[in-house]
Amino acid sequence: MSLLSPLTALLVAGVAVPALLLLYFLKLRRKEVWIGSTMLWSKVVEDLQANTPFQRLRASWLLFLQFLLLLALLLALARPIFGTRQGEGGQRVILLVDVSASMGARETRAPAGSDPKDDASGEPVTRLDRAKGSAIEMLDRLKRSGDEVQVMVVAFATRARIAQTFTSDLRFARAAIDALQVLEEPGLLGPALRLAETYAGPEQAGSAGPMRTVLLSDGRFGDDRTPSYAAAEVEFVSVAQRGDEAADPDNVGITFLAARRDLLDASQVDVLCGLLSTAAPLKTVQVEFALDGQAIDSQAISLEARDPKRPAEGLARLRFTNRSGGVLRINIPRGDDLATDNAVGLLLAPPTTATLLVVYPADDAGPDEYLMSVVNELPLYEVETWPADRFETALKSGSVQSNRGHDFSAIILDRVSPSAVPDAPSLSIGARPPVPGLSLAPSEIENPSRRVLSWSRQHPIMASVGLDTIAVADERRISLPDERSEALALAEGGPIIGVVEPRRGRRHIIVSFDLRQSNWPLHVSFAIFIQNAVDYLTQRGSIEAGQMIRTGETMTLRAEPGATQVTLTGPDERTIPVREDGAVTIGPLDRVGAYEAQGLPAGSAPIIANLLSETESNLQPVDSVAIGHEAAPAQPLDRSTPRELWPWLVALALAILGLEWVVYLLRARWR
């Protein structure tokens, strides 16, 4: 506790306290009255016989109460504050306000510190409403403190933005807080702390005052790594109802969704949907499935909590027949605290067969027999083979299309190095595409039978691929460009398998050696590698899983030829410019739902955005937020911001005044 105006209280006390005591030291000046006898007035006679104007101070309840009354008023004048005061003079405050999807959870009970009946007749209060109320109350306290204060407001979800730069006019900060809205996307604390740290230096605000960083959030974040913050200690003000003020949050959300067509029967679609529930009494929940607006199934899914400290979980499965594609929607038909995660959707592509092109040297009769024996067995792929001269002619004319008149899904270059980079993903074997920075060079070791030393087992291309028994007689190695490339397999002398993924180009996989110069085609791992590589290049896995985008993320699409911009209409409206290469980056989208796009090729399906976030659907309050090697404990606003106590002291003074009046009346009656 500290005092804001101690000097004022001392000056007033120097006058008021002696004056009060003087009233009890001075003798009363009485009027002379003639009476018949002094027997009953002995006390008065004693006072009249005194020779001095002062009397001895006697114990008195009235004096004690009046002294307490004066003390309470003097303390009120001193303006005591309760809480930690961040030094003397000016201070700078950064308010980090969480606006992620979980902050839209509607609290059906009254906020902390208010009468529960306040919300009975009004609208439910969201967590963002509580955060905004706490932030505004903090501004009011800072304003009453009398210190010079500069405040900055940062709003964050997946991304962070400055809602208000440092300002000493707290009206601007208040207006910025009032204008904040919930974004239906996951929350990440790292970007917010990095942005705040950039502006935390004293030179940014023109002040060397102490720094405070206050986080107003429910504490649920999806950062892959624990964020760090070196500017100041973070004060975490929890806006989730805690303790006895609220029951368990009532929410059931969809946190996972995947759909895949059967490889043997492409008309069959398998759907997997994950559920999470913080509604403790709820044991089952109804899940509805619809395709293009028509209901196809409804299931009662059991919910089970494997850990008492974690929310309950459930899993919905569905298998149905679909030959034409469409929009699949999954819905939980119940009202709860957070509606954003109750419905999801994805676009099912119709069952199609991708087309592969295998290019072989012009002086050969055909591609490598081992290679074709694997490629021809790939399910759901059509294969065409071209000699190198035909491919070069088509490449120079700018029309590399299949016999059916459409673009190839991927190109396999068997010992052929084209004159230009193909406008399609490619797998080069014993050759290389002319990607800048990519080359094949002789290894530094002359070994007719090189062994594979290591390979990246985590990469999707190398999944379940074993190379420990592979020997390679080809001495060439891959020299990869520095940007967005990765060596997938290393042999004596350098990399022999690599992948290049330019930011604005196609993926290219390179195998440095001729298959005829190794024993790899004789191993089952070769067939697995070709299947993985082709699926990776054509992105068959993501297409068969359905097309969708998570809020807060981006996706890149090809715009309609000649289009300069793409316009999205739906839950949100925006216009996105088209890049010079004809691509357009959609997102990040901050509203769930379906978006219609103008500027994409004719017949393009809608873009569907889903939340699908376990951290946002989990509405249980947290005790602390991990920042660096420390944990910021959840605390109410009273502990994070100094609170002035003078209103309570004035109320105490009034109570003492009433008590003093009662004591005076009783004494007068007893006399």
Q: Which residues contact 525 (CB under 8 A, 6 or more apart)?
A: 464, 465, 466, 467, 470
Average pLDDT of the segment spanning 324-352: 91
CA 76 vs CA 70, 432, 435, 467: distances in Å? 10, 82, 77, 81
Determine contact, residues 654/76, Cβ cutoff 8 Å.
no
Is the pTM here over 0.85, yes or no?
no
Q: Under DSSP, is residue 296 helix (H, G, I), strand (E, B) or coil? A: strand
Between residues 504 and 328, which one has the greater pLDDT? 328
Average pLDDT of the segment spanning 38-62: 56
Average pLDDT of the segment spanning 657-669: 72
Least confident of 64-73, 215-224, 234-243, 398-407: 64-73
Q: What is the pLDDT of residue 231?
A: 82
170-178 and 127-144 are packed helices; what angle lies between their axes, rounded to 10 degrees? 170
Buried b (16+ CB within 10 A) or exposed e, 80-114: bbebebbeeeebbbbbbbbbbbbbbbbbbebbbee
**What would be the CATH architecture of the domain defined by 354-543?**
3-Layer(aba) Sandwich (3.40)
Q: How do residues 95-149 score in pLDDT, each as one tens digit?
A: 999 999 999 999 755 444 444 334 444 467 899 999 999 999 889 888 876 678 8
Q: How do residues 76-95 score in pLDDT, each as one tens digit?
A: 766 676 555 444 445 889 99
**What would be the CATH architecture of the domain defined by 252-349+612-617?**
Sandwich (2.60)
Determine contact, residues 269/259, Cβ cutoff 8 Å.
yes
List the beta strands (DSSP E) in 208-267. 211-217, 234-238, 252-261
Q: Is the pLDDT of residue 574 over 60?
A: yes
Say if residue 444 is exposed, middle or buried (CB neighbours under 10 Å; 0-12, 13-18, 19+).
exposed
Cα separation of 549 and 595, whole Å? 11
Q: Is the pLDDT of residue 455 over 90?
A: yes
Q: What is the pLDDT of residue 88?
A: 42
Return the top range by mean pLDDT from 2-11, 264-273, 429-438, 564-573.
564-573
Q: How do residues 371-403 score in pLDDT, each as one tens digit?
A: 999 999 887 788 999 999 999 999 988 888 888
Q: What is the pLDDT of residue 117?
A: 37
pLDDT band of residue 367 (cuts 50, 70, 90) is: very high
Q: What is the pLDDT of residue 51?
A: 46
pLDDT band of residue 333 (cuts 50, 70, 90) is: very high
Average pLDDT of the segment spanning 490-511: 86
Q: What amino acid is encoded at 398 in this protein?
A: G
Q: What is the CATH number of domain 91-247+620-641?
A: 3.40.50.410
Q: How do residues 631-650 score in pLDDT, each as one tens digit?
A: 999 987 655 555 666 677 77
Least confident of 137-146, 256-265, 534-543: 534-543
The DSSP result for 589-622, as a single string, is --S-EEEEEESSPTTPPPEEEE---HHHH-----
